[in-house]
Amino acid sequence: MMIRIFVSVVLFAFSSVALKAQNWQPVGDKIITKWAEEVTPSNVWQEYPRPQMERDEWQNLNGLWEYAITSNRAEEPEEWKESILVPFALETPLSGVGLRINPDEVIWYRRTFEFDPQKDETHLLNFEGVDYKCMVWVNGQLAGSHIGGNLPFSFDVTKLMKEGENEVKLRVIDGTDDPDLYQLRGKQKRDGRGIWYSPSSGIWSTVWMESVPKTYVQSVKILADMHGELKAEAIVGGLKQPSGLRVSVLEDGKEVMKSNSSSHEVILSVKNVKLWSPSSPHLYDILVELIGENGEVLDSVTSYAGFRSVGKECDENGNWQFTLNGEKIFHLGPLDQGWWPGGFLLPPSDEAIVWEMEYLKKAGFNMIRKHKKVEPRRYYYHADRLGFLIWQDQTSGGSGGSEWPKWKKLQALAKGYTPRNNKWWDGNDDVLNADWPDWAHEQYMSELKTMIDVLYNHPSVVVWTTFNERWGQHRSMEVGTWTKKYDPSRLLNIASGGNFFEVGDIADEHNYPHPLFPLEVPLYDDYIKVVGEYGGHGWPVKGHIWDTSKDNWGYGGLPKTKGEYIQRYVKSSNILGDLKKKGISAGVYTQTTDVEGEINGLITYDRKVMKITPEELYKIHKAAGLVD
């Protein structure tokens, strides 16, 4: 009798979920990609979300959840709505909701799931991204809270779980660009237009449960260099400290090297190592094991590593150049916003990420500047295996008021004045930093540190960019000095196109529509000189525009024909090729795709039309001397 009742309950729950799934559909009349058209509640983001530290035992919680929108004074929703498709943000078409919250409102989420907790295991509830502040309850008890909308976090919910049905509930606040919040929100703005985009609130990336041993690898830090040396460090969580750490390096399933340590750190050397580079992105598998006092394996995770060294050197003409594995390398890539019409911050699928990267690869790009956004961790996994150099921006904050300082572009010293306000520059650096309160700066630094920690193991990430232009730029020397000390294995771009300070490795100029750099200014001679943004040539493609009721734009005015559009790209490439001969070490073209009101992408926002094919782009880059 008990069994029959249990089965009938399960069948009822299943039929209820199935009914909701049948009723779910994307909302709105905006364009979406072909991958978004294939998304369903049963197939949405099923891949393991953390390839750099993988375990077998996990449970995906993506799918249909209940939701509610209430006043920020409400302690509990009075009524729950039927469904929102997690992990897509509330405002997105693929969420099935497509609503925006007001400044005085919050979002609630709720779902139940079956779970069988084991006494000898710890259970972790993981969120890959929730924008921006949240509180989480499991079975009516508070599991924890989190601030920061751009990065993953987790809670130990072992003591809160029960056998059978479990409930998880969230309360989420997202102020976006409301005044005085100093919220790190990148390109999001309530009034999205021009270079600003629609808000993306609430859960926006995978939610999942993970079961680990009582003593477990909480995180692992891996650095593998061009000489074959690998350093691995494990942070251990749980009840007791293991007696040691064992790390094995494997290639094609065969063990290449294994090393033990009585501490939580291992250093080993791989002979005749195959190096990682964009032209040969070779990866080794890594097995990390915690060893108990009797030699038993307490926990194990699989990872991978690309052996490579990031550096710089001065060429025969006195110009500093990027190096990879001791060889000079020119960085050519697009500015990449990472926005999608169906899911905004979240791509519709793994396949969509790969398709876009393969387009860029065929075009001859070896670098991507990830602009004001941290991607889901699977993005960097694909960059690692396909071979891209990633310039990773810190997500910017501030609402464009007093949080932004005045802007002195790099040409200011060459021309003798600041172009934006046409005033002579008096050398006073005080106005080049905004005055952020301590609490806002501390949150900025907390998110910066977490970003570096989360992405540290990825060989593709080679440059940290702490500020873009002057957006939220503050305490620049302090931020730059800390970043260089915290991760000396990578290069630092203190402010891409922003207010230059003598810290880090790079002097970065933005210029539209064509690339430019003030080579005559001696101040930049000790730095790698790059054009961190240029181009932005716009071409609207009928039937593939996000919002036909608004003005769509690109830099330098719109060309009259597609031929003129392509010729503008050719001209920019040729100018960059000439700058390369004069010592410029990188160029970043704006941008990979159209995004909402910006129609300056190489591909339309829905990824259905290539304005220039990758084969054409490669020929242009080759002729300009930008690729070998």
Strand pairing class (130-131; 207-213): unpaired
pTM for the whole thing? 0.94
**What is the predicted pLDDT for the residue at 263?**
83
Which pLDDT score is estimated for 5? 33
**Contact assessment for residue 391 and residue 493, using Cβ atoms and an 8 Å cutoff:** yes
Do 409 and 510 form a contact (C-beta atoms < 8 A)?
A: yes
Please report the pLDDT score of residue 6 as a whole number: 32
Q: Which residues of the chain have pLDDT under 70?
A: 1-22, 399-402, 416-427
**pLDDT at residue 399, as a whole number:** 62
DSSP H/E element including 380: helix 377-386
In eight-state DSSP terms, residue 24 is -
Q: Which residue in this structure is represented by tokens 């979002």?
A: 107
Say what angle helices 350-362 and 377-386 make with each other, to 10 degrees.
40
Please say whether the beta carbons of 306 and 224 come within 8 A. Answer: yes
Q: What is the DSSP letter of 624?
A: T
> CA separation (Å) from 25 to 69, 85, 95, 112, 204?
20, 9, 8, 21, 17
Tokens of 197: 């985009």
Cβ 514 vs Cβ 536: under 8 Å: no
Going by C-alpha positions, the residue among 169, 194, 161 that lies closest to residue 77 is: 169
Alpha carbons 601 and 555: distance in angstroms, whole number: 11
Distance CA 395, CA 423 (A): 30
Phi/psi at 350 (5° precision): -60, -40
So what's the pLDDT on residue 425? 57
Q: Are 135 and 202 in contact (CB under 8 A)?
A: no
Encoded tokens for 82: 């039927």
Q: What is the CA radius of gyration of the chain?
A: 25
Q: What is the pLDDT of residue 193?
A: 79
From 618, 589, 620, 593, select the one nearest 539 (Cα to Cα): 593
